[in-house]
Amino acid sequence: MNGIYQEIRVALHMVWRRRWLALGIAWGVCLLGWLVIGAHAVLAEAGYGYSSSVAPLVHDHYGWPEAPRFAYRPLADSDFVELPVTTVQLGGRNFAAGGGGFFRLFPYALSRWAIRRVNQQDHRPASFYFHPWEIDPEQPRVAGAPLKSRMRHYVSLKRMAPKLQRLLGDFQWGRTDAVVAEQAALL
């Protein structure tokens, strides 16, 4: 079993290095983080300084409700930082507030309220994301996709770009690497 685990680790290292090299050249930026769930040790060993892959909430496809809501160091003896996707806490339960389907499917006012609450009451920055396909209302549709998948992927695509414009105007945003450095200094 240990041999298979090591082979998977080596393969993941190769994929990440090649992918980020191509993206780095294309984008002309230094990429220090990677979005992948459960691979903190591999990422740290590969030289990455942070991840934003943990969603500290209950969801049918992902989520780790026991995870901390804000930046933390998931590995002992490492400076590696996890910057979880933003959640807002209500009644002892965490709810999505950092983008994705939550942002696209629900009214903008709910996202604005949740992010303001995290900024003002928790005194923390919000980590926000969206999938590139969410700003492409003309994307091809998958024939025969189940209703649940169609709802998750195609509803409100035309409203996504205008909502993002409002979000950019309503809040101050910074680069993830800078936010991670700021939060890491508090750990």
Distance separating alpha carbons of residues 5 and 122, to the nearest angstrom:
39
Angle at the Cα of 66 from the Cα atoms of 62 and 71, rounded to 5 degrees = 90
User: In this predicted structure, what is the pLDDT of residue 59?
Assistant: 76
User: In this predicted structure, what is the pLDDT of residue 109?
Assistant: 96
Angle at the Cα of 16 from the Cα atoms of 135 and 184, rounded to 5 degrees = 80
Query: Looking at the predicted structure, is the pLDDT value of residue 30 above 80?
Result: no
Query: Looking at the predicted structure, is the pLDDT value of residue 32 above 60?
Result: no
> What is the pTM assigned to this prediction?
0.76
**Secondary structure element (H or E) that encloses residue 3, with its range:** helix 2-27
Q: Which residues contact 101 (CB under 8 A, 6 or more apart)?
A: 152
User: In this predicted structure, what is the pLDDT of residue 13?
Assistant: 57
Count the Cβ atoms, other than its own, within 10 Å of residue 92.
Answer: 5
